[in-house]
Amino acid sequence: MIPYDVLYKIAIFAVIVVVTAVLAKIFSLLIKGMFRTWAPVVRTHTQRLVSISIWILGLIFAIEQLGLRTDLFLLILGLLGIGALLAVKDTLENIGAKYFSDVYVPFKVGDIINVRNSSGKVIEINPITTVLLTDDKKLISVPNSVFVKEKVVNMTPHVWKEILVPITIRSDVDLPRFESEVLKACNKMRRYLDDRFPPVLTVKGRGKKYVDLVLALMVKAPSKKNEIISNVNQKISEIEGKMMRGKRKRRK
C-alpha cells in the first residue's frame, strides 16, 4: 500500500508536468503569433528554445515536489556547462556565427565573395568554416566567426537584388500546396520584384519532423528589401497557420 503523502506528491508532480506542457505550448503559440514578421527559421528556433527552457524549469520544479534535492545537481550541471563552454568557446563562436550567418549574412554556396582580402567562390559552408575556391584553384577556409565581425563583400552579379528567406515547415505540411500559396502571395508583390526572376522555392534539407526551404526573390529596388521580407514572412506565417488549421479540421 502506497502512503497517502507519496501519492499526493506524485499527483502534484503529474499536475506540474501537465501545466508545464500547456505553458510550453501556449508560449510557443504566443511567439508564433507575436513575431510573424521574423524570419520563419529564427521564429521556429526561438519557439523550440523557449519550449525547452520551460520544460527544464517545470521538470526541476516538479522533481523538487517529490522531495528530491536539485540544488547540488544544478550546481554541478552549471559548472560543467561553464567548463564546457570555455573549452569549446572558439568552436561555439563559429557555430553561433554560422547560425546567424544563415539568416543574416548575405551570401550562399555558389556566390563569389571577398573577406579579409581573400576572394573566391563559396563552395561549402559547414558549422565551423566557410570554404572558398579561388580563381587559381586554391582552397581558403575562413572561420565562420569572421563573417559576423568583419566586412564581407559579395561580388556575385545581381546579388544586391536577392532576398533569401529561410523557411522551416513541418514535414506533414503538404509541400506542393504550401509552395503554391507562397508563390501566389509573392506574385502579388510583383511590382516590387524584378520581372526576369519570378519567386522560386527550393528544398534545402529534409528531416523526419521538418523540411528546410529557401524562398528566393529578386527585388527591383534595395530600399524595399526590409519591407518585402517583413511582408513575405507574415504571409508565410499566415499560410502555414491556415494549412495547419485546415489539417486539424480534416482530422476532426
Partner 1 sequence: MNRLCLCISSQTPLVRFNLSYEDLVQKYRALDQPVDLSRLVEGEDYEFTAGGVTRMVFPLLKRMLQEGRIVNPHWISLNPTGPEKVTTAGITLDHVQLERNKLKGYGYAKETMWKALHGIQKGIEPVYSLLWQDEFVDYTYYNRLCSELAMQLDRKNDFDLFYVNDFQQLPMAHMLHTLKPKIFRWHIPFDESLIPEMWKQSLASYFNAYDVVIMSCKRYLKSLKRFGYKGKAHHIYPYIEQDIYKKPSQREVEEFNYKFGIREDDRVVLVVARLDPMKGQDRAIKGFAKVVKNFPDARLVVAGNGSFSSSKRGIGLSKAERWLAKLHELVKTLEAEDRVIFTGHLTHKELQAAYERCEVTVLPSVLEGFGLVVIESWLYKKPAIVSSMAGVAELVKHEENGLLFNPDDPDDLAKKLSAVLSNQSLASALGENGFKTSRQCFIERGMKAEAQVMLDLVGRPANRRKVFG
Nearer to partner 1, 58 or 162 (CB): 162
In angstroms, give the least distance from the CB of 109 to partner 1.
Answer: 13
Query: Residue 102 or 179: which CB sits closer to partner 1?
Result: 179
**39-70 CB burial, b ≥16 within 10 A, e <16:** bbbbbbebbeebbeebeeebeebbeebeeeee
242 binds partner 1 (CB under 8 A): no
Q: Taking CB under 8 A as the rule, does residue 202 contact partner 1? A: yes
Ranges of H-type helices in 116-224? 145-149, 175-187
Residue 166 touching partner 1 (CB under 8 A)? no
Which cell is 82 given?
561553464
Question: 1 CB contacts (<8 Å, ≥6 apart)?
Answer: none
Q: Give the DSSP H or E segment for 163.
A: strand 162-170
Residues 6+ apart with CB under 8 A from 22: none
Of 25, 149, 184, 245, the one binding partner 1 (CB under 8 A) is 184
Nearer to partner 1, 149 or 158 (CB): 158
Stretch that binds partner 1, among 89-97, 127-135, 196-204, 222-230 (CB under 8 A): 196-204
Beta-carbon count within 10 A of 225 CB = 16
Q: Which is nearer to partner 1, 138 or 188 (CB)?
A: 188
Chain positions contacting partner 1, by CB under 8 A: 175-177, 179-180, 183-184, 187, 190, 195-198, 200, 202-206
